Structure 1
């Protein structure tokens, strides 16, 4: 079988031809794609180059703009520095001119100083020469005076020193009187303003109790029941209370008499309960008196608590409050001591607020200043010292303790609080009608005042007037000079303070007059 003439050969040649044709076709397709890729690549590259050029131009413009701004800012800053340098140069020029003027002035002053020193040296030399001449003249004068007077130089010096000392004392007295008058006027004005303000702001009532109490009766028949059979009821009441019962002709009333106000109050309350109850016999009397005594103790404690509440003082020991309550039934020259203590506390607080002092401490010291009077009949000593010890015992502050002890000069005042308590105490006790004074002690105090004044040399007469608040002293004008009158008033005031005890203050007025008398004939 002929292989090349067979159909297989034809198929194989066709297949080869197809492969060749397919190869060339594929090659042409690949070459076409490669051309397209290259074209696209060139286009992308060209586009990128254009964009890069555009970005380059924009970046260049931005950098130029930033550089321009920086340059402008630098130029402005440089201009500001130039202006500042110009200002500094002008200031330096002004300072230089000023220094030049000052230097010229300094030169002139130095020249003047040199001339003045030269002139001063000349004057000093002249003064020394004149001083020598004066010394020589004084020496000659002293020699002549000693020769003419017949006394030595030492004796002359002594006479001169005595004369100078007398003149100095007189000048000192004059200045002392002037300064004292000025200070008195100013201090008196301020003190009067503060006291007047304190008095006007305080509107409390005072109570002037006496040593008797009156008990009203429903009828005069009750007097017989109070007396009892053979006087046993009245004796039982007097024995249980320690108070005298006076039954006289007074209609529908009996009088209780006694110096102990607490006992007198117990007797009054007990008698009122017995009268209301109607059962009056010794057993019932003792029972009622014991009951009233317990009730009165509660009443006194409540009065003490109320007094601390009224003045705004807190934290007071309970024993001190009990003692304050006892002052409700204690009197001094007829003045109720508890009311007096409240008044002193209020006055202290008002004056302390005006002076800028601690108001609470001032009120506390004023309220407790007479606390010693609650037990002064049981303890020996001054009520001020007793009160001081009680306040210290029950934990009061040192300022309060000292003020209590100093309010009657038992110890010298050391602070403003001490003086305020003294002033308020005198102010409360010295008001007209606040206290009653026995005639004998009143007259004795006036006599003592006049006796102290009459004991000084040069005093002719003395008169205690204004209830002993004012002492007028008439002196001999030949023995007491005007300047010595001031010293005399000070000495008498000091002597009165040392020797007498009195409420408030006493004004000493020294009167000196010169009379020239002649007759026309």
Structure 2
């Protein structure tokens, strides 16, 4: 190969080498610049990230401070509410303590009065003992004196001495017993009258006697025909649906009498009859529709009446069945007195008396309200209303004191708590108020006859007269058979027998009269 042929090759190799070297140098230069730009871009991104992180940190810090402030404010509000609640509880406890202190003072005062009465009774007993000792001394003196008297045997002297001693002791004991009894009775009556008066003053009885409507006056003769229906179809279907009997008085054909023993069914029949007559359409399908609606309406009224009774007295609601029983009393009457109104009145009296005596007011009111719930059951089941009411109270979780008050308010079971006595007393007060109840003439005459028969059964009674509707009996005794010093003993025996053999509200006063006449003629 010649030099001329190698020259282009060498030139090409040299150019390639120079190109490679130039490319390498250019590439290094460009890479350094890119690296510098990348570093600058990375630094910028880091600076931006740092700024954003700082901003985010400040934002989160502000949010945290705001959340902390909200939680702090909520905690302060909660603390303030709890503080106020504690203050209210403290004030309530202070009021309760003040009330308890007042009750303690009243109890201390009454204990003092009772101690005074007990002291007087003890003094009376001591006086009786002294009189007995004096009688024994007189007995010894009389015995010695009689023994010195000639003509008397020991037995005769003994009989005379016993007779004198017995007469004198009976006279002195009767006088002393009468005095002690009058003092104790006067003190007890004053306290009882005070408590009863305060209780009655707080009770406003808006309604005394309420009568269940059992008659409906027809304004049109045609209505009677539609009510009876073809061959009596409508009236028979009405009686089947309501369980009541419709009677048309021959003396007054425009009056329909609803007859039946169940007061709630009687009310359903009354309202249904009223709606049917107002609608003017009377046929079996309409009767069935109206009676069904009225039954639902009466059931709602029963629940509302029961709830209102508890709400009126400020008592906690009871088991729904107890509430229904109380509501049913709205349709029950006892001697013309509405039983629900009577129960509310008894509850208010019990609450007022319990407050005076330092007993549980709410428990007393509850017992008073529920004492007659058995009357809502006795038309459906056999048994006395105290017995049935006690079973219902026990079944639906009422307090044992309430159950005992229900069962014992007619003395059927033994009393276990003073509230039970209060219920019996308030029941008698509510039932014996003038005008509260309507008794039949037959019951009145039977009570008068029984009262006179009881006092006439005692030896020495000449005549007796029951007056003031049987609340007092005046007894005339035979002068030759009953001495003056026997009157207190005889009166006590009569009152005991009346209490044992008669059931009556309030009290019966027994007055014995012993008349002494001296007649002389002049001239």
Give TM-score scaled by structure 2 length.
0.67
| Root-mean-square deviation (Å) | 2.7
Provide the aligned length of Structure 1 versus Structure 2. 383
What displacement does 1:468 show? Answer: 0.8
Within a 5 Å distance, the mapping from 1:461-472 to structure 2 comes to: 461-472=463-474
Moved over 6 A (4+): 137-142
Structure-2 change in CA distance of 1:165 and 1:404 (3 Å): farther
Kindly indicate whether residue 436 of structure 2 is the aligned counterpart of residue 434 of structure 1. yes
Residue among 301, 304, 310 paired with 1:302: 304
SS in 2 for 1:148: coil
Residue among 143, 151, 154 paired with 1:151: 154
Within a 5 Å distance, the mapping from 1:420-459 to structure 2 comes to: 420-459=422-461
Q: Which position in structure 2 is the counterpart of 1:189?
A: 190
How far apart are the structure 1 equivalents of 2:362 and 2:146? 71
How far apart are the structure 1 equivalents of 2:520 and 2:359? 61
Structure-2 change in CA distance of 1:341 and 1:172 (3 Å): same
Q: Which position in structure 1 is the counterpart of 2:202?
A: 201
SS in 1 for 2:512: strand
How far apart are the structure 2 equivalents of 1:139 and 1:362? 62
Q: Which position in structure 2 is the counterpart of 1:229?
A: 230
- Whether the 8 Å CA contact 2:199–2:349 is kept in 1: the answer is yes
- Whether the 8 Å CA contact 1:212–1:255 is kept in 2: the answer is no
Within a 5 Å distance, the mapping from 1:285-324 to structure 2 comes to: 285-324=287-326
Q: Which position in structure 1 is the counterpart of 2:330?
A: 328
How far apart are the structure 2 equivalents of 1:212 and 1:358? 38
Q: Which position in structure 1 is the counterpart of 2:19?
A: none
Structure-2 change in CA distance of 1:446 and 1:254 (3 Å): same
Q: Which position in structure 1 is the counterpart of 2:512?
A: 510
Structure-2 change in CA distance of 1:237 and 1:309 (3 Å): same
What displacement does 1:260 show? Answer: 2.5
Q: Which position in structure 1 is the counterpart of 2:171?
A: 170
Residue among 482, 500, 503 paired with 2:502: 500
Structure-2 change in CA distance of 1:168 and 1:201 (3 Å): same
What displacement does 1:191 show? Answer: 2.2
- Whether the 8 Å CA contact 1:211–1:258 is kept in 2: the answer is no
Q: Which has the larger radius of gyration?
A: 1
**CA offsets 1:334-363 (integer angstroms, 9 cap, x no match):** 111111101111111112222222211211
- Whether the 8 Å CA contact 1:177–1:483 is kept in 2: the answer is no
What displacement does 1:252 show? Answer: 7.0
Within a 5 Å distance, the mapping from 1:405-416 to structure 2 comes to: 405-416=407-418
Kindly indicate whether residue 346 of structure 2 is the aligned counterpart of residue 338 of structure 1. no
Kindly indicate whether residue 365 of structure 2 is the aligned counterpart of residue 363 of structure 1. yes
What displacement does 1:177 show? Answer: 1.2
How far apart are the structure 1 equivalents of 2:147 and 2:499? 54
Structure-2 change in CA distance of 1:392 and 1:157 (3 Å): farther
SS in 2 for 1:234: helix
How far apart are the structure 1 equivalents of 2:369 and 2:160? 61
SS in 2 for 1:256: strand
Q: Which position in structure 1 is the counterpart of 2:269?
A: 267
What displacement does 1:414 show? Answer: 4.7
How far apart are the structure 2 equivalents of 1:327 and 1:387? 12
SS in 2 for 1:246: strand
5+ residue gaps, structure 1, are 1-136
Within a 5 Å distance, the mapping from 1:272-283 to structure 2 comes to: 272-283=274-285
Q: Which position in structure 1 is the counterpart of 2:118?
A: none
